[in-house]
Chain A
Amino acid sequence: MTYAIEAHELTRRFGGFTAVDAVTFHVEPGEVFGFLGANGAGKTTAIRMLIGALAPTSGSATVAGYDIRTQADQVRRRIGYMSQKFSLYEDLTVRENITLYGGIYGVSSRDIVTRTGHILARIGLEHAGDELVREIPLGWKQQLAFSVALLHRPGIVFLDEPTGGVDPITRRRFWEMIYEAGAGGTSVLVTTHYLDEAEYCRRISIMVDGAIAAMGTPAEVRRSVGAETLDEVFLKLTRPGAAA
């Protein structure tokens, strides 16, 4: 089986500082994989390498079967991305943002119209289609950014801390959307520092200081570290002197 994402000893150094340390993992097609870790653990750096925004110092990785270093263009066609800042154009309307990214990804004009309708209905923004993104509340912005990331039906989508700053109910609703995507066959790599969200993922990995300290299903991870909850797992792993 070709993995959706496969990384082998992926490393990134900035001068003397190692942000991502020989990370090796894979994501199966249709899987929702959670990338956990504290702020600054290296999650964003790792994602940025996988989406082709940052070159690795050493190691390799493939996304959708294509090498991230040599076949970056092929990779880009097949993935969706939602960054921490949501990266929608605040001074464009909801519709205009959708149309823009649809156009860039080659979605036909007709499909753009139909999909826009679906997205607005799904999120509940039917009456806000012509509002500036700047004006709509944070929770909706997140869901919109996520929908835009999926607009061109990519096989794999990367979400970097997509649920920052909103209430638990909105976060719940967001994860429902992620499930839907996964159920539809889309592979999802999501980073988060919310440990409760980890339970939503099929498999997770925990990054500490740039390296993967634990990986597997949530149950496997709890067992391997000998903890009851993921909170405990985390505390044990990040205590000074703890090794993977």
Chain B
Amino acid sequence: MRTVFYLVRKEFLQIFRDRTTVFQIFLIPVVQLLVLSNAATFDVKQVAMMVVDEDRTTVSAGLVQRLEAGRQFRVLRYEPTDAGVDHALLDREVTAVLHIPRRFEEDLVRRGRAPVQLILNSEEGATAGIVQSYALSILAAYSAELDRTLPRLGVPRTVRVSPLDLRTQRRFNPTRNYKHWMVPALMVSLTTIIGLLLTAQNITRENELGTLEQLNVTPMTKIQFIAAKLIPFWLLSLVIFTIGLAIGKLVFGIPMRGNLLIVYLAAMAYLVVVLGLGLWISTITRTQQQAMFVAFFVIMIFLLMSGLFTPVDSMPRWAQWVAEANPVKHFVAVMRAVLVRGAGLETVGRPILGLGVAGLGVLALAVTRYRKSVA
């Protein structure tokens, strides 16, 4: 026990003596959390649009007006022909093109039906669908308005049809505040990245410097060694996590509907898994360079397959299976469940237990892998 105490003390001394590192491990998360939380959204505003109006009637002009009236589109170019469409899309001058054909008004008056063409730049994919739905809803609204106001030929108004009255409601995030979603995600990412990096290079570094050999000659046991490596970074990561939570609450007002203690319980278990993994990486790599690359690889998989940035439900079956083994996924799920939806231990108890078991498993792995003597 005393051995562990002295080793932990040494780690803290080393960490805090290195000004740059301390700077980095506290500043990088805080700055990135503050700046990047504002970023993460698929929302579209002010979509640059080009309208090709071959009709040029009051009705078509009315449509263009409708488009400009909302916040969603900005009509950058208004052309009589489609000559410039390709170039505008290629050059990313506009993201959407609305092509109104020649007999637009006439068709609406005569037949009650008129086609238009929407061309969307789907280079960035996710937004194309959203832009399309915005455009379609504007068209639908304009259609309904015309239905009431436009005088038409030869169409009997026999049936007064009520439109579908669809009330939509967004649970848990009625204001669609993306930050509530992203801040927890970023917090977890940052704590994970820093924690994993620090532990992954830690043992490798001691090995490269020669101090590891000296420690191996002492009566210190493997368990004492791993414990002493784990504890300081575990505490440090919890501090970083707390700072992140504080920023989330104070700066971004993220909801904390559930019990914070549960979140901390999950965090403590989660960090054991992540840091233990870092230590294990340290035992299988020979140089700090390798340790870093392996850590990078692991972090990437963890972050991108965790539901942090893209939904787990969207992943193919096999990937969802793999994601089950991803501690980040479970921790993020627990956090979102507790903070955003106010869930309790009945819901999140199992994932937390899973994290705890995984943590012990990973530590056991690191302890067995670590050798005091070379075979």
Contacts and interface: CB of A to CB of B under 8 A. Distances in A.
A77 B220 CA distance: 9
Contact of B374 (A54, A73, A81, A85): A54
A54 B210 CA distance: 15
Contact of B10 (A55, A77, A85, A92): A92
Interface stretch (A2-10, A99-107, A115-123, A205-213): A99-107
Given A53-B217, A73-B219, A76-B218, A99 B6 contact: yes
Contacts of B9: 100, 103
Contacts of A102: 6
Interface string B21-34: 00000000000000
A87 interface: yes
B367 to A, nearest CB: 15
Interface stretch (B11-19, B85-93, B244-252, B352-360): B11-19
Contacts of B10: 89, 92, 96, 100
B211 A55 contact: no
B3 A53 contact: no
A72 B374 CA distance: 13
A88 B14 CA distance: 13
A33 B216 CA distance: 24
A106 B211 contact: no
B217 A52 contact: yes
B149 interface: no
Contact of A104 (B6, B14, B372, B375): B6
A88 to B, nearest CB: 8
B169 interface: no
B309 interface: no
Contacts of A72: 372-373
Interface in A64-115: 72-73, 76-77, 79, 81, 83, 85-92, 96, 99-106
Interface string B183-215: 000000000000000000000000001110111
Contact of A52 (B5, B14, B209, B373): B373
A51 interface: yes
Given A52-B373, A54-B374, A104-B6, A77 B219 contact: yes
A103 B14 contact: no
A121 B373 CA distance: 35
Contacts of A103: 2-3, 5-6, 9
B219 A91 contact: no
Contacts of A83: 210, 213-214
A85 B5 CA distance: 25
Contacts of A81: 214, 217
B6 A91 contact: no
Contacts of A85: 209-210
A89 B211 contact: yes
A152 B224 CA distance: 19
B2 A87 contact: no
Contacts of B372: 52-53, 72
Interface string B210-253: 11011111111000000000000000000000000000000000
B348 interface: no
Contacts of B18: 91
In the A-B complex, the 3 residue pairs with the closest CB atoms: A103-B6, A87-B214, A85-B210
Interface of A: 51-55, 72-73, 76-77, 79, 81, 83, 85-92, 96, 99-106, 132
Given A104-B219, A105-B218, 6 more contacts: A52-B216, A52-B217, A53-B217, A81-B214, A86-B210, A103-B5
